[in-house]
Amino acid sequence: MGNKEVKETQLNDRELLAERRQLRKKRRIRNQIMAYVTLVLVFVIVASGGYLTWNYFGSAPEVPPQEEESNSVMQSQVEELIQNEPEISKPEPTVEPEPEPTPEEKLNEIVDAAIGMMPLEDKVAGLFIVTPEAITGVGTAIKAGEGTKTALEANPVGGLVYFEKNIKNSEQLLEMISNTNLYSRYPLFIAIDEEGGSVSRLAKKKLVTNVGTAADIGETGDAANAYTAGETIASYMSHYGFNLNFAPVADINNVKDSFIGDRAYGDDHELVGSMVASAVLGMEDGGVSACLKHFPGIGSTTDDTHKGQAVTYRTADEFREIEFMPFQAGIESGVDFIMISHVAAPELTQNNLEPCVFSKTVVTDILRNELGFTGVVITDAMNMKAISEYYDSAEASIKAIKAGCDMILMPEDYKMAYEAVLQAVKDGTISEERINDSLRRIYRIKYAHMVADLEEEIQSSESAENSESTENTEN
């Protein structure tokens, strides 16, 4: 090969290398250069081998000095290219951004964090809703002062329920509930019975206008009226600081002289179902948790559980086809609470004497698993004679929790009930995880507003930033 040809070859190779360096990624360039070096080395080895062979046989011509010089220059240039080639580092692994947690996930994080910090004693206390008198020891609580503060520090209950005797006037009620919330280290359910009609604690004290009986609303046949009544009740309850209403009644007034009477929307289960669903939406749209009562349905009995044992002989099929329907409608409307009755339903529980509040079949198998209720299950008042005449507060509270109830309402003796449940957890009769399950349901309701407020703050902040950015751009 002549000098001219060698030079042309060198020029072509360098131009080719430059072009490739511009068009390909660093890694591919390095591979090409290495391939080129290998080719040159092979060429050199082959040439050297040929030279030795010819020399061995005595016929190898001498390599012209110009060609030796040309090969040396080529090798030097390739080595220089390799030395000057920037080191190609491995690309950093792509890190996928963490997905933004959903409101549901945010709520779960808040709830789990709250429960995780609670000592066992506070967890157990959080399962009870009691009267203020039960923890303060006063005859009638009409204000919240140092006595209430001390009582809540010693008994961090899940909620307090108020009656007519606790209400004197608007100013007194507002101050009492406001102070009570300030004194509690955990958020409280502040509860009352405000159905309308005869069971209306606030309306009876003339603080609000009575929306009328459920029967009167049901007679209109328009479920929108039930929504309006529920929303109205929620608006004045929220004003005073209440966040839990033990209403609406989901029972059906379907036997003569039914105990439930005009507290039910009527005797037709489909009509009652539509009314119940609308009332739930009205209350919960108004910011108050609704509580359906009295599962599995007490409209078919003439007995009063306030006064003693009550029994209904409805069959399991009748319950499923009729009594359950309003409760199912309320569940589908998103009701937060369902209250379990003390009535005995032997055809449903297969136990003649057992109140439904103690029946795992009723609470867990039917209400939870069959009807799909995921909210808080609360007992009816445990100081009613259907319970208190046959069971002490300790036994009754443990039986209710083991059946699947999340909260105990008004045990006859709160101290006894609390100590019994606490000991049951300590000795393994009830697992702590079982208590945690109930607390998760409870605190999901208590903290639901926190996620909504957080989302609102974020949106407001983003809107303000966008507005400021727009103004700066315009200026």
Q: Which residues are catalytic?
A: 306, 380
The most distant pair of C-alpha atoms in the chain lies apart, rounded to whole Å, by 132
Q: Are 336 and 291 in contact, with CB atoms under 8 Å apart?
A: yes
Tokens of 453: 């407020």
Neighbour tally for 195: CB within 10 Å:
22
Q: What angle do CA 267, 272, 278 make, to 5 degrees?
A: 160
User: Over the chain, what HEC string results?
Assistant: CCHHHHHHHHHHHHHHHHHHHHHCCHHHHHHHHHHHHHHHHHHHHHHHHHHHHHHHCCCCCCCCHHHHHHHHHHHHHHHHHHHHCCCCCCCCCCCCCCCCCCHHHHHHHHHHHHHHCCCHHHHHHCCEEECHHHHHCCCCCCCCCHHHHHHHHHCCCCEEECCHHHCCCHHHHHHHHHHHHHHCCCCCEEEECEEECCEEHHHHCCCCCCCCCHHHHHHCCCHHHHHHHHHHHHHHHHHHCCCEECCCECCCCCCCCCCCHHHCCCCCHHHHHHHHHHHHHHHHHCCCEEEEEEECCCCCCCCCCCCCCCECCCCHHHHHHHHHHHHHHHHHCCCCEEEECCCECHHHHCCCCCEHHHCHHHHHHHHHHHCCCCCEEEECCCCCHHHHCCCCHHHHHHHHHHHCCCEEECCCCHHHHHHHHHHHHHCCCCCHHHHHHHHHHHHHHHCHHHHHHHHHHHHHHHHHHHHHHHHHHHC
**Contacts by 215-224 with C-beta closer than 8 Å and gap 24+?**
215/253, 215/261, 215/262, 215/263, 215/264, 215/265, 215/266, 216/262, 217/265, 217/275, 218/264, 218/265, 218/266, 218/271, 218/272, 218/275, 219/266, 221/271, 223/274, 223/275, 223/277, 223/278, 224/278
